[in-house]
Chains A and B, each alone.
Chain A
Amino acid sequence: MFDLLSYLAAEVYGYIKSYVRNLEFVIDILAWPLWVLGIVLGLAIYNPLFISDPGSLAWIAWGVLILAIVSDKLWIVGHCIERELRLGILENIASSPEPVWLHYASIAVYSIISTFPAMVLTVAIIFPSLGINALPANLGLFTLGYVLAELASSGFALIYSSIAVVVKRPWIATNAMQFVIPILSGMVPYHVAPDQLKTVMQLNPLSYPFEIMKRGAIGQASMPIGLDESIALSILSIAIFYAAGIKILNRTIDRLKRKGSIQAQ
């Protein structure tokens, strides 16, 4: 157990050391709020009254954050195997004594660390510029929801990473998913969604952590579900996502080894 934790800590530390000092990291953090602003206004223009109504605009803005978080996870975690295969380092990773799933779990943890400053910057600068209260209505609940949402979406992306490595042009699928998944996960508030979308949102495990996050941020519920149930469903879905993700990941790496396609492409 201690070995696993020290591997995980070393991996996350390595990622932070290599990427956080990188200009790419700074640029991503700076670009994130700009994309969020653009999409919030792009949605709000459908009902321009919202632009001068911070209460309504808050629903849209926190909803667009779902898109930003999911998109980040899909690109960082979802493309992790494909990226390392492309860079020619997957074989080395698979040959190391460290369990391979731990390496990818550490990418999921790193992705949470990397999204956090961008989200803080967005909420601290962009939200007030739109007249939205940057301080969540219930900071504790918001933090809980945010952590659960990050874990759930990175777990989901971990499952996707095994698909992305076998698809020929994964960026096309990722582009499609980064728009579709948020819509099904509460980017559009549940209470204004049509019945079919409401059903999908109820069935989609990603909806619940994002619901907790928005509930903490805005102070109002959107889905007709109790907080305890939402938390329980979120934790259950995270456990399932990670268990399934790790299982599929190990199989994918084994398959790549068997086929001899684990070397640099």
Chain B
Amino acid sequence: MFRGLRPYLAIVESQFRVIAREVPELISIVLIVYMFIGVLYLGGRLIGSGNELFSAATGYDDPFRYQLVGVSIIAVSMVVLSSMSQFANTEMLSGRIDSLSLTPVSVNIAIAVSSIPFLLAMLLVFGLSISPVIAYALSSYGFVSVVLSIAALVVGMVPVFIFGVLISMVVLVYKAPQIVNLVQALFFILSGALYPIYVLPHILRLAAGGLPITHVIEVSRSLLLAGALEDGFRGFYTLATLSLVYVALGYILVRRFGSLLRYRGV
């Protein structure tokens, strides 16, 4: 049984080696998150008029923490998406994907597995970037809020993985690695990482509601910044349901793309 897992473990191991070489890059992601939030905070402070209006619009009184939670979560999802599509692209360019498709290894699982080390590294980055908020939540609302928000992040990452597999397949079928940039931009604006989604134009608001990452951010904010366990649990169930829908849809699409990939070749 475990013999079947060996090729995937080898992929995980090689990806861990890649990550081990990129520790400064991972640390710099934390710095970039803070720099981005810092610029927004500085700009926002200069054009803003105190926290009252912000609080009335968002329900939270600290804009820095509010945007830090959103940007940290979106940064994790962006790295997962780009690492998966990058893996697919590198394997395609080096010609290894053809060899991989001739082995008993599933290309889809290989792509998903390739991002596990990145996800673990990103959880570490997430922990570092969001540490002031976690410290605040632990001292104000206790351990349960933090654990539940991490659980929401893990559940919310399942659809991100599915997106990642689908994008990787688009990369392989249409030879278009840049498509991930567009998806990242869509995630960024639709997720409500920086603002509540009701400020978006109507049509984008509808799309945002159907995106699991939006709910991950909402749940995390209500748990970490307000300690609202009841809202957190309710949001968690919505997120879990949405994730299941994405898993089902993703399964159908991955099968379709898989047969297209086999038919067209890489």
Contact = CB atoms under 8 A, between A and B. Distances in A.
Interface of A: 23-24, 27-28, 30-31, 34-35, 37-39, 41-51, 56, 59-60, 63, 129-130, 169, 172, 175-176, 179-180, 182-183, 187-189, 192-194
B56 A48 contact: yes
Contacts of A187: 43
A244 B178 CA distance: 34
B47 A23 contact: no
Nearest to B24: A169
A129 B201 contact: yes
Contacts of B35: 175-176, 179-180
Interface in B13-66: 24-25, 28, 31-32, 35-36, 38-40, 42-49, 53-54, 56-58, 63
A170 B121 CA distance: 21
B25 A46 contact: no
Given A27-B181, A34-B185, A45 B199 contact: yes
A47 B194 contact: no
8 contacts: A35-B189, A41-B189, A42-B194, A45-B57, A46-B63, A179-B35, A180-B35, A192-B47
Interface residues of B, number: 42
Contacts of B147: none
B65 to A, nearest CB: 14
Closest 9 CB pairs of A and B: A46-B44, A42-B194, A46-B48, A48-B57, A34-B185, A31-B185, A38-B189, A45-B195, A24-B178
B109 interface: no
B102 to A, nearest CB: 28
B39 to A, nearest CB: 4
A187 B47 CA distance: 11
Given A34-B185, A172-B31, A43 B43 contact: yes
Given A23-B176, A42-B194, A30 B182 contact: yes
A47 to B, nearest CB: 4
B46 A188 contact: yes
A31 B178 CA distance: 10
B185 A169 contact: no
A49 B57 CA distance: 9
B243 to A, nearest CB: 24
B67 interface: yes
B45 A46 contact: yes
Nearest to B54: A46
B252 interface: no
A38 B194 contact: yes
Contact of A47 (B31, B47, B58, B199): B47
A43 B40 contact: yes
B247 to A, nearest CB: 26
A33 to B, nearest CB: 9
A47 B24 CA distance: 36
Contacts of A183: 39, 42-43
B248 interface: no
Interface string B169-193: 0000000101101101110110001
B133 to A, nearest CB: 17
B75 to A, nearest CB: 12
Contacts of B43: 43, 46, 63, 183, 187-188
B200 interface: yes
B48 A47 contact: yes
B186 A34 contact: yes
A45 B179 CA distance: 29
Contacts of A63: 43
A48 B53 contact: yes
A180 B34 CA distance: 12
Given A35-B189, A45-B57, A47-B47, 7 more contacts: A34-B182, A41-B194, A43-B44, A46-B44, A176-B31, A188-B42, A189-B47
Of B63, B188, B189, most buried by chain A (CB within 10 Å of CB) is: B189
A47 B49 contact: yes
B218 to A, nearest CB: 15
B115 to A, nearest CB: 20
